Amino acid sequence: MLGYIIRRLVAAFLVITLTSMIVFALFFLGPTNVAELLCNEGGRCTDDRRERLETALGLNDSVVTQYGEFVKGLVVDRTVSLGAEYECSAPCLGISFRTKTEVTTELIDKYPATFSIAIGGASIYLVLGTVLGVLAARRRGSFADRALVSGSLLLSSIPYYIVALLAWLYLINQWKIFPESKYVPLTENPGKWFLALLLPWLVIGITNSTVYARFSRGTMVETLGEDYVRTAAAKGLPENKVVFKHGLRAAIVPIVTIFGLDFAVLLSGTIFTEAIFGIDGIGRWGLEAIPVDFPVISATVLVSAVLVVLANLIVDIVYSFLDPRVRLA
Amino acid sequence: MTETLSDTRPERVPLPADSSEPFLVVENLTVQFPTYDGLVQAVSDLSYTVKLGETLGIVGESGSGKSVSSMAVLGLHDVKRSRLTGSIRVGGKEIIGASNSTMKRVRGNDVAMIFQDPLTALHPFYTVGAQIIEAYRLHNNVSKSIAKRRAVEMLERVGIPQPDRRVNEYPHQFSGGMRQRAMIAMSLVNDPKLLIADEPTTALDVTVQAQILDLIQDLQREFGSAVIMITHDLGVIAEISDEVLVMYAGRCVEKGTTKQILTWPEMPYTWGLLGSIADVASDVSKPLIPIPGTPPSLLNPPDGCPFNPRCPHTDKVEGRRCFTELPELVQFPRQTHPTRCHIKDPDLIWETEVKEEIM
């Protein structure tokens, strides 16, 4: 088990390194000239000034050297020059071209908001979706089952940002069912934190639960037809125990798998939610950085890569606990 | 822990006052499944009885209604998706239409079932011990540790080596034969009065098959229970049953003692079944004689006798009665046991035409 985890971690490290290289390379292949951009910021841009900026930014060095600098910054403090000099303490992900602050600091500052949104939304859709799916599977073919399946299809065929926008427009702006409150960190004021996030959670939770409801309904219908579920009934177990202890126990495995991956995607930025509900998380941060603020973009891409790779690893490990037939070696 | 296993048995539901009634009575059982394509008539007008200590063999091809009828005894059909009529009485208790709480007491306690494929019939995520303990504690109010001792005891009884270690293992760590033994241990943990074995040896190789059959017989003698052995294998029937019921297209087509059925079979379908057995001890160059065709659709069974499309003896019945009239399950004067066939003197045909060809 330990050997397996170590091997997976090494592989994860390689994937993340490769991702960072690709992002770096893409940026250099892209058409934006950072020096020109920064140069224009400082008023009149002369050729001389632009060339000085290019040298200071290291744009004249080879891509390999620049990447080396970037990697070095992850372990030791370095100074970044964007015309003026900026201190960047390790782990340094660069200095934002726009705000001129350390990317790492901004990331740490903005990440809790995204994490708060993700964890609440994901909990709602996992629980709600699975419960609805199990209920539908038990009553398959009934009116309630058909209503759930077609209702969930309808809801999931509306783009997420429309649902989120409508929710904001009607529930907050027009009907004022939910308070218009600004996001504050949990540590500052838990009550306000909760109030500000309640609607975003519900919107994420309910829209995504449709997928989980249909998926868990499918795996549950399949599991309830398994021989071992019939065996459980033949032993004299009450129906609830047959459905949950024997049926759901087996059906939950594929649900956990897709949940792990979905959750990682959610953790790497809830762009629409943050933009629509005005929450300052990394989704919006990354969105606003496009197309010029390279250090911020690369940081968000790296965070996503790390989260997705880690989620995969965690799913595989959890799998071996859920299914005794899976032995990691 | 001074509690002993024997003290903890709950009181059995008393046998009916009229104790001459066999433990299991199935009367005019009909099981139908409504589907989009129509009504599937899985079992029609089936009647049989099994006494304690006796073994009834039910034989027939796949889809002949063997399993469906025995699942009905445990009330395992979803009431919303099936229609059951007739009567099933277990120890005097009516099963059809019984409440959930009645059924919970019957299942696993009065009646237990051994399923065909022990790999799929045991839950892959729970240890063998946990599954036996669960079955035991459902019907016995005992602590987990006592139930576990009972589980180890049962595993030992069914011949699993090192039961105290194996009790903590998962089904996938067991071999096929061991798994079926574990399944049997689970079924017998509550000393059921009726054991339904639904093709218990089909998924196993022959040497293991014989061991499992011996085990079931031993346990039956030990506990004095009634056994229903569902199989398509007449060899199994010959070995284990007292009486045999041959099913075809959801109906009983021949019923008698094992000796009667195997030495004087009287229904062309049973002749076909006997002809399909490979006998390694006899002339192996002789080809097997399969029954031509396939079992009929239970959605639109053929008119007349359901076996008529496959029966080579329809010309021996006057008129075209085989094609127009469903035979009753009756015993004609020249028969030793009842069959559902228009042929009046089957023993003569068996003796003169069929026996020679297939034996």
pLDDT for res B275? 84
Tokens 């499309």, located at residue: B309
3-state secondary structure of B198: strand
Does the pLDDT value for residue A105 go beyond 80? yes
A230 contacts in chain B (CB < 8 Å): 76, 115, 121
Tokens 């029966």, located at residue: B311
Pairing relation of β-strands B55-59 and B226-231? Answer: parallel
Mean pLDDT (whole number) for A117-133: 95
Higher pLDDT, A70 or A217: A217
At A236-256, the pLDDT tens digits run: 999 999 999 999 999 999 999
pTM: predicted TM-score of the whole model, two decimal places: 0.83
At B102-135, the pLDDT tens digits run: 998 899 999 999 988 888 999 999 999 999 999 9
Residue A14: band (very low, low, confident or very high) from pLDDT cuts 50, 70, 90:
very high
Query: Between chains, do A230 and B186 touch, taking CB under 8 Å as contact?
Result: no
Query: Between chains, do B107 and A233 touch, taking CB under 8 Å as contact?
Result: yes
What is the share, in percent, of chain A residues with pLDDT greater than 70?
Answer: 98
Query: Between chains, do B107 and A235 touch, taking CB under 8 Å as contact?
Result: yes
Does the pLDDT value for residue A291 go beyond 90? no
Task: For chain B, list residues with pLDDT below 70.
Answer: 1-19, 359
pLDDT for res B171? 94
The nearest alpha carbon in chain B to A228 belongs to B121
DSSP per residue, B132-143: HHHHHHHHS---
Tally A–B CB contacts below 8 A: 68
Does the pLDDT value for residue A45 go beyond 90? no
Chain A contact present for B106, CB below 8 A: yes
Q: What does pLDDT average to over chain A?
A: 88
| ipTM of the complex in this document | 0.84
- Would you state the structure tokens that stand for residue A268, as one six-digit string? 């790497």
pLDDT for res A210? 93
Does the pLDDT value for residue A215 go beyond 90? yes
Query: Between chains, do A324 and B125 touch, taking CB under 8 Å as contact?
Result: yes
Domains belonging to chain A, first-starting first, are 16-92 (no CATH), 104-322 (1.10.3720.10)
Mean pLDDT (whole number) for A114-119: 94
What is the share, in percent, of chain A residues with pLDDT greater than 90?
Answer: 45
Chain A contact present for B113, CB below 8 A: yes
Residue A42: band (very low, low, confident or very high) from pLDDT cuts 50, 70, 90:
low
Query: Between chains, do B122 and A231 touch, taking CB under 8 Å as contact?
Result: yes
Residue B136 is which amino acid?
Answer: Y
A199/A205 Cα distance (integer angstroms): 10
Query: Between chains, do A231 and B115 touch, taking CB under 8 Å as contact?
Result: yes
A235 contacts in chain B (CB < 8 Å): 107-108, 112, 134-135, 138, 186
Query: Between chains, do B100 and A235 touch, taking CB under 8 Å as contact?
Result: no
Query: Between chains, do B120 and A228 touch, taking CB under 8 Å as contact?
Result: yes
Residue B2, phi-psi category: left (phi > 0), alpha (psi -120 to 50), beta (remainder): alpha
pLDDT for res A176? 85
A227 contacts in chain B (CB < 8 Å): 115, 117, 120-121
Report the residue from A228, A236, A325 with minimal CB separation from B121.
A228
B64/B246 Cα distance (integer angstroms): 9
pLDDT for res B137? 95
pLDDT for res B18? 54
B113 contacts in chain A (CB < 8 Å): 231, 234
Rg for chain A, CA atoms, rounded: 25
pLDDT for res A100? 87
| In chain B, where the domains are located | 119-190, 264-358
